[in-house]
Amino acid sequence: MSVFDSFARPPCAETLGWQLVEADPDTGAVRVTMEGKPDFCNPGGNIQGGFVAAMLDDTLGPTVLVKSGGTHYCATIDLNVSYLTPARPGPFTGVGRIVQMGKTVAFLEGELFDADGHCVARATASARVVPTTNVARS
């Protein structure tokens, strides 16, 4: 059973086709997959940067939920994205980890890889650590 089984799946995760592949409760590290849909493309045929940022945000956010065993989630304070190469439609894998987590703030980092294993973008974030007491449950 995964910590995610206790919580309702957010609509943004549905839109991105978010799936948990691997989670390490000791470190909070996660590996997830998402689908870069053609509907996410800009006029040049690449995934629009805001969708890439959303995929990275949905890669980093779950780390706190995993590390805390479901007692806390995080609310992004800032998200810094470096776009390394154009992201084409198709499957993506996000790898997220906690750099440091305190009682109120977590520092996170991760990468987004395309189907060929190329890193298309990386991100760092700081996030507020929030109790899950008011989060919708399954």
Q: The domain spanning residue 119 has which CATH number?
A: 3.10.129.10
Predicted local confidence at residue 25, as pLDDT: 95
The closest alpha carbon to 101, from 135, 60, 129, belongs to: 129
pLDDT at residue 6 above 90? no
Rounded to two decimals, what is the model's pTM? 0.94
Quote the longest CA-to-CA distance of the chain. 43
Banded model confidence at residue 2, pLDDT cuts 50, 70, 90 = confident
Please state the rounded mean pLDDT for residues 116-125. 98
pLDDT for residue 1: 66
Gap between the Cα atoms of 92 and 80, Å rounded: 19
Average pLDDT over residues 1-22: 90
Q: Which residue has the higher pLDDT, 82 or 136?
A: 82
* Element of type H or E holding 60: helix 49-60
Q: pLDDT band for 4, please (50, 70, 90 cuts).
A: confident
Helix, strand, or coil here: 15?
helix
Query: Which range of residues forms the domain containing residue 45?
Result: 3-134
Evaluate if residue 35 carries a pLDDT over 70: yes
What's the pLDDT at 137?
Answer: 67
Say yes or no to pLDDT of 51 above 80: yes
* Structure-block tokens of residue 13: 């995760």
What's the number of domains the chain is made of? 1
